[in-house]
Structure 1
Amino acid sequence: MKYLKFSQYIYIIAGVYFLYDCIVNWNTDRNHAYLSLFLFVLAAFMFFFRRHFHKKYEDRNNNK
């Protein structure tokens, strides 16, 4: 399950990209910027969600 440890960081990379895309498109295409902002928030949520469950999984395996 080593891929679970690294897969959470993919969400951070995607979140940084969507935040950059939001900032670049804010003055030109506001609807696209809102979509990118929503995807940034979703990626940040998924990062913390995955990190929480990864720690929970590790704690469960360490107690055995």
Structure 2
Amino acid sequence: MKYFKYTQYLYLVASILFLISVIVKIINQEEYGLQAIIAVGFAIMFFVRRRFVKKMENNKKNL
């Protein structure tokens, strides 16, 4: 499952895009709460996926 290794970066890119959107909304004094929550969620998913991939790699080495 090689795509697991690369999909974690999609979460990081999405988090950065939502973070940029939040910054623009802060500058324009618009409501940004939901997008900020989504950006944090994507950042958390990046670290969770990264940990999962490392765990899978360690399991392959132990077999």
Scaled by the length of structure 2, what TM-score is found?
0.92
Structure 1 residue 29 displacement after superposition: 1.6
Identity %: 42
Number of residues paired by the alignment? 62
Moved over 3 A (4+): none
Q: Which residue of 2 aligns with 1:12?
A: 12
Gaps of 5+ in 2: none
Bigger RCO (CA 8 Å, 6+ sep) = 2
CA distance in 1, matches of 2:17, 2:35: 9
CA distance in 2, matches of 1:7, 1:50: 8
CA distance in 2, matches of 1:9, 1:55: 14
Structure 1 residue 35 displacement after superposition: 1.1
